[in-house]
Amino acid sequence: MSRDFVKKNISKIISIFFLIFSTLLLCYVFYRSQIVHSGARLDYYLKYYLIAFLSITLSFISFFIPNNLKINVTIVGMSTLIGLYLVEGYLVILHNPGLKSDNFLIYKNNTGKDYDKRNRYRVYLDLKREDPNIITIIFPSHFINDQNLSYFPLSGLPNRKTIHCNENGYYSIFQSDRYGFNNPDKEWDKDEIEFLLIGDSFTHGACVNEPDTISGNLRKLNNNKDGILNLGQSGNGPLIEYATLREYLPVKQVKRVLWIYYENDLMDLYDELNNQILVSYLKDNNFSQNIILRNQEMEKILLEKFEHYKFATLTQLIKLYSVRKKIFSIFGHDSISKPDSITTHTSAHLEKFKSILKLSNKLTKENNSKLYFIYLPKYNRYIDGGNNGQLHSYNKIIKLVQSLDIPVIDINKKLFEKYDDPLSLFSFKMVHYTEKGNQLIAKIIFSKIQEYENIK
């Protein structure tokens, strides 16, 4: 068998493989764009259509490219792909505090325990042997781009042990309540609710156990008297939070609503405004999903999503998520899921946010409750002096809230700016707060509200 014959056949196989791959890519893009999202995100998928069509065109052209050139180009392409996956692995390790050896030692010295190096799916498989009903976290923002849903979940799966995250050396695991929130279920049976919290992962209690969340610490400060309900969910933005208030606030007699704002919430609002069910809460004051009466239907929707997200880490690795995110950030994009930087939408989003807060304030008053606005700072503020694009609306947000006559508790000024080492209040100096951070925040919230209300 001659060398030229071998090269010719290898060359032909390369072209056929390239054509099959390109065709499958086009089918996948069509499936995501037209079936999963019903054409609602065509502007987002347009670039992927162009890439797929370009790939098909090049695959046909490849049949006419000289064999040596085609083989050499393929070798270069495969080498580049392998290199990208090596970079992806490096970025995953770089941004995962649990995979940094320094953190292992710090955790060991502080606690005497070994850092849990497992990924979340491995933890799920291990714990499933003891509890077949255990799940990994699923939250509302996972459904933002699902345009075919009849209902939009506003919580996680109810009455389940739920694996959340690991930023402190251990995986936080909580028992969800009857509606899928991170509360002791008995809180719903109390006649009066002292505090009802809404917010994102910082409110939800990411990477700490329930007693060490902001709501858990408020419960201790309140001596477990009246109820404290935490309706926060990871990934929530202002519109989901308003929808949550609409559905759950009227259910209980609530004294105070704590709107806990984090510095990326305007970015979350960008995606939320593209979801028709969520937008219905803004368009119609009488709109309701009657979620509390549809617990079984919501559970079915959440379980289906859970099956999909069990393999989320592997899927992100295959899609080079970290590499793409890094490339987008270099070119001025804060997220690979958003086609434009949030800085180009600041004015419009501030106006929408103002409308949402105004409606929320009105809703709380109608339910004989009092709304407080809690401002939480992002860790970038203390790394790069607050130059991150997500942070530039700080003063605007504070003034906006004050203009609506909503009391503001600025955790940035009251705690972090006064603290000697503010980064030490973040989990291994990044992302979410530590147990101590949450404890100090809860104390400030509790004492400031007492000052506002002149409680002796």
Q: In the chain, what are the domain boundaries? A: 3-94, 120-453
Are 369 and 256 in contact, with CB atoms under 8 Å apart? yes
- Kindly report, residue by residue over 203-245, the tens digit of the pLDDT: 999 999 999 999 999 999 998 778 999 999 999 999 999 999 9
> Which segments in the chain show pLDDT lower than 70?
1-7, 36-41, 43-44, 90-101, 308-323, 325-346, 384-392, 429, 455-456
pLDDT on residue 344: 44
Please state, in angstroms and rounded to a whole number, the distance separating the CA atoms of residues 451 and 296.
43
Please state, in angstroms and rounded to a whole number, the distance separating the CA atoms of residues 77 and 71.
10
pLDDT on residue 146: 81
Please state, in angstroms and rounded to a whole number, the distance separating the CA atoms of residues 129 and 57.
50
How far from 417 is each of 202, 360, 373, 400, CA to CA, in Å? 19, 29, 18, 21
pLDDT on residue 389: 47
Fold assignment, 120-453: Rossmann fold (3.40.50)
Please state, in angstroms and rounded to a whole number, the distance separating the CA atoms of residues 45 and 307.
24
The phi and psi torsions of 361 (rounded to 5 degrees) equal -65, -40
The helix/strand/coil state of 229 is strand
- Kindly report, residue by residue over 173-201, the tens digit of the pLDDT: 999 999 999 999 999 999 999 999 999 99
pLDDT on residue 93: 57
